[in-house]
Chains A and B, each alone.
Chain A
């Protein structure tokens, strides 16, 4: 099970050990500031937006189509943006770091 680090909008570091499911679900379980997951992970709310740390972007991969469309409408989007509900926590992501942008 991967260990992941989230940096909250107030720059606090939260480390999730043995995270399972999607990154959004794991963050919700741990009550991480800035991840709301309003739509339960179906790509309609964009309240689970993260910026993947530069060195992890390649391994995490690009957004899927519906995700990219939703991100396109979000002012906080940059080349490292993902919706964390679309990131499945697999072992390859052990050590991953993401930043949570300020809410809109």
Chain B
């Protein structure tokens, strides 16, 4: 993969002190790096709280959205009840019919890519894939996805931040109005009908759920899909190997989530001052749970920089850990498993034509977490016979 040396940028700090103090928006944040420490902190919501509107993501997002995202920016026990409201939607990908639909979608996109002589996988493959798959998850007409595709790779950060956040917000309001007057079986209708603690959700709460649903699974899914295509482009024998061992599809899926770790880290706020490995964190300051670093911890993963598609066990934390673990994980897994399945069935080789990595640049670390552009040619199996 063209990922090293950038992919495990945290190694030195993780092994020497366990913490990297990195400034974000002018303030130092203690990034927790070791697998065990990250899992411990993720479970300890009393010390490392999510009850902090706009401040769970780092950098914080008060400039790009106006609602508290739910259920992510709350702590138990409130969080537990809020999460239950949307859980049934996020479990839909466990249904075989749902999976079959995702597979047909991916097959269609792969066939299209084979037919055109080349495809830019970020915008012409992964973005439509992610958007259309989301319409299935939310049980909305697939045609809705065409508008979402126009929003670009990140709903807030692609170009003009605040303006984009407002665009998502007005879309959500339109959908909620529609759901209130003409409820159906879709996600927005479920929000307008949900009861919590004996009352209906407020409009602001509904917006908070919807906002996270659109923001959370977008660039993460896109970067994973494109990362997998890039990997097979650079490592052709791995595609043949997986073709010979289809029983490894699930472990391969998990290994891609581990090695790509599309969400580098996420924040927690400390209500009281505390220590993490000697780093002092003042009350109301933040720490970062650094999933991408934990996923390379050599205490847990043998040869952590190697992609081993049959890696087992693989206790990665790409989807987080503890009460907030990713609600979209079923969906992301369904997408990735179907993608791998389709690639080994149809694709002989992937030729990379142009590749521009997307690099997360912070004061104390840099990390590739995706691609701005990845242009490839997909060579189908049949033409090789």
Contact = CB atoms under 8 A, between A and B. Distances in A.
Interface string B47-58: 000000000000
A38 B93 CA distance: 11
Interface in B312-363: 312-317, 321-322, 329-330, 333
Contacts of B79: none
Contacts of B274: none
A64 B251 contact: no
B313 A64 contact: yes
Contacts of A43: 312-315
B250 A41 contact: yes
**Secondary structure type dominating chain A contacts:** loop
Interface string A53-74: 0000000000010110110010
B254 interface: yes
Interface in B289-318: 300, 311-317
B39 interface: yes
A86 B313 contact: yes
A30 to B, nearest CB: 15
21 contacts: A40-B251, A40-B254, A41-B250, A41-B251, A42-B312, A42-B316, A43-B312, A43-B313, A44-B313, A44-B314, A44-B315, A44-B317, A64-B313, A66-B313, A67-B313, A69-B36, A69-B300, A69-B315, A73-B40, A73-B321, A73-B322
A39 interface: yes
Contacts of B329: 38
A82 to B, nearest CB: 13
Given A73-B39, A73-B43, A73-B321, A42 B300 contact: no
Interface residues of A, number: 15
Given A40-B253, A41-B250, A66 B315 contact: yes
Residue among B36, B43, B314 having the largest count of chain A Cβ atoms under 10 Å: B314
B321 A42 contact: no
Interface in B260-314: 300, 311-314
Residue among A44, A64, A70, A86 having the largest count of chain B Cβ atoms under 10 Å: A44
